Chain A
């Protein structure tokens, strides 16, 4: 799953890795409670108890649809790390891990160019946009 989401969403993880490497703590860094490590651990544990496919699907499902997570205690309640989220188009790091994780948009965000324009600047060019 080396997709853009993991790369972007694990910046904090990469910072942890860098810090650990610089201090000679690579072994410890590998065991940091990151999302990647958590999912890997979860998958392994599930395989062990012989219910990998069903439990794995449930975990992925609750990540993809955070609104459903409230009724699914098994993942979010144990998330011990921060997530990058968005509010009013501004990114922020939610250290409680309870915010809706940011997923790179599939959209072109083609209106974003106007986000920083004042009302007068926007209406001056796009009065009937």
Chain B
């Protein structure tokens, strides 16, 4: 019997949704711009069965892929579970068989050696295929029209890492994908395999190297010359797993490292720079300027995730779990392993930021991300009191001038990750739309907002209304009409 009644954090808007869905011809307020054709694909999770442990990570939630399909001003919505072997095994047993996040030693013996990924982090369109990604396993291929799960994909057997990142980078100049897997040769290994995959989906290059310590390598940076690899404070060990703990703990004494490797280099060419306690979970963009490699990212001072607790037993510090847009500069001409850090904006932001992907790896100006503006109204009488824990705005952050333009979602709303859609036939950076899902706590529903990225203060261009709560998203990606074989 399924029972979520003893899950205190899964109530109200945050309760599991537990259904697959098709909505045709969605209700729209405003008018969908005619040059938006394709799909906004979202990936996140929803516990189908409650977790076995109350202190498990929400990153262990069952994967759920959904899609707003745009065609000639009409929007359809579809949502499906990612039907991994793990999901199917749970369904067959009618209960949760899997234990703590990335700790197979806590699983039911009946599922020993089964792929335990939930494939719940990032959707990817590449080489004409749609994938769901999670960094503990291979990509799962998804039918882009039905959203039914096809199965794991290893790039014709040429991708040898056992894992695949949730944040591959597609070079807008060459069309190549730079991707990697960490813990590449198995649980608790310090191997990283870095790959180049061409536009046809063929592996053309593999580089192997080791990280200074086994850690979460969640995202990387890509320039036209280098790959940047952040390694920071999350640590693990087989001892932790044998004790039944969640995969990661936070070591505040562990230095952060950033590896810089030439795109045409070998494993021995990687250079590690060393810095203080930081968490660079997601990057915005990176570029190479002469001998300098520049990374810009929303970076936390310390551990952002309370479910990966400090290993020294100290309490998790919410004040240090705030991300600020910072610039790290690595001088390849220097003789030491230090680097410089600048805080570009004094306001903390969501670390789920995006740029105009046509400028990825290149000089650029604008970053987009969500943030909470406490000076904006919040109607707690209609929405419920969240004590200010809302991201009610999307910002366009001008890294050249330090100016920020803002979109406000409404006084009962909180925004999930932003995404950028370039305007058709435009090459100007930032010309297009921002898109993202807002949770409307007053109406108990989700709304997809679309705004002109160059005129955020003007508000919505259009808003797609779902008459229910859409499953929570981690990452969403815009997939243009010509990227996938849409029906």
Contact = CB atoms under 8 A, between A and B. Distances in A.
A27 to B, nearest CB: 37
Interface stretch (B231-239, B333-341, B376-384): B376-384
B318 A108 contact: no
> Do most interface residues of chain A lie in helix, strand or loop, or is the interface mixed?
loop
B441 A127 contact: no
Interface stretch (A13-21, A49-57, A75-83, A112-120): A112-120
B381 A86 contact: yes
A67 interface: no
A107 B412 contact: yes
B383 A107 contact: yes
A64 interface: no
Contact of B8 (A105, A107, A121, A127): A121
A85 B263 CA distance: 63
Interface string B305-321: 11100000001101001
A128 B385 contact: no
B389 A114 contact: yes
A84 B321 CA distance: 38
Interface string A87-101: 011000000000000
Contacts of B442: 105-110
User: Which of A114, A117, A119 has the most B CB atoms < 10 Å from its CB?
Assistant: A114
Nearest to A123: B306
B286 interface: no
Q: Is the interface of B mostly helix, strand, loop or mixed?
A: loop
A115 B10 contact: no
Contacts of B386: 111, 114-115
A112 to B, nearest CB: 3
Given A120-B306, A128-B472, A113 B13 contact: yes
B417 A111 contact: no
Interface string B440-471: 01111000000000000000000000000100
A124 B9 contact: yes
A1 interface: no
Contact residues on A (Cβ < 8 Å of other chain), bracket: 20 to 34
Given A105-B381, A111-B384, A123-B306, A128 B417 contact: yes
Nearest to A121: B9
A122 interface: yes
A107 B9 contact: no
A86 B13 CA distance: 22
A65 to B, nearest CB: 15
B249 interface: no
B383 A110 contact: yes
Interface string B384-401: 111101000000000000
A124 B380 CA distance: 22
Contacts of A124: 9, 55, 58, 306-307
Contacts of B10: 125
Given A107-B441, A107-B443, A128-B472, A115 B384 contact: yes
B158 interface: no
Given A106-B382, A128-B472, A120 B316 contact: yes
A114 B381 contact: no
A117 B8 contact: yes
B12 A112 contact: yes
Contacts of B472: 126, 128-129
Interface in B1-29: 8-15
B196 interface: no
A110 B12 contact: yes
Interface in B280-318: 304-307, 315-316, 318
A111 B385 contact: yes
A67 B474 CA distance: 41
Contacts of A127: 58, 304-305, 307
B382 A129 contact: no
A119 B441 CA distance: 19
Given A109-B442, A125-B58, A117 B9 contact: yes
B80 to A, nearest CB: 20
Nearest to A103: B381
Nearest to B15: A113
29 contacts: A86-B380, A86-B381, A89-B380, A105-B381, A105-B382, A107-B442, A109-B12, A109-B381, A109-B442, A110-B441, A110-B444, A111-B386, A111-B441, A113-B11, A113-B14, A113-B15, A115-B386, A119-B389, A121-B8, A121-B9, A122-B389, A123-B305, A124-B55, A125-B10, A128-B352, A128-B416, A128-B472, A128-B474, A129-B439
6 closest residue pairs by CB, A with B: A107-B382, A112-B384, A107-B442, A113-B12, A113-B11, A89-B385
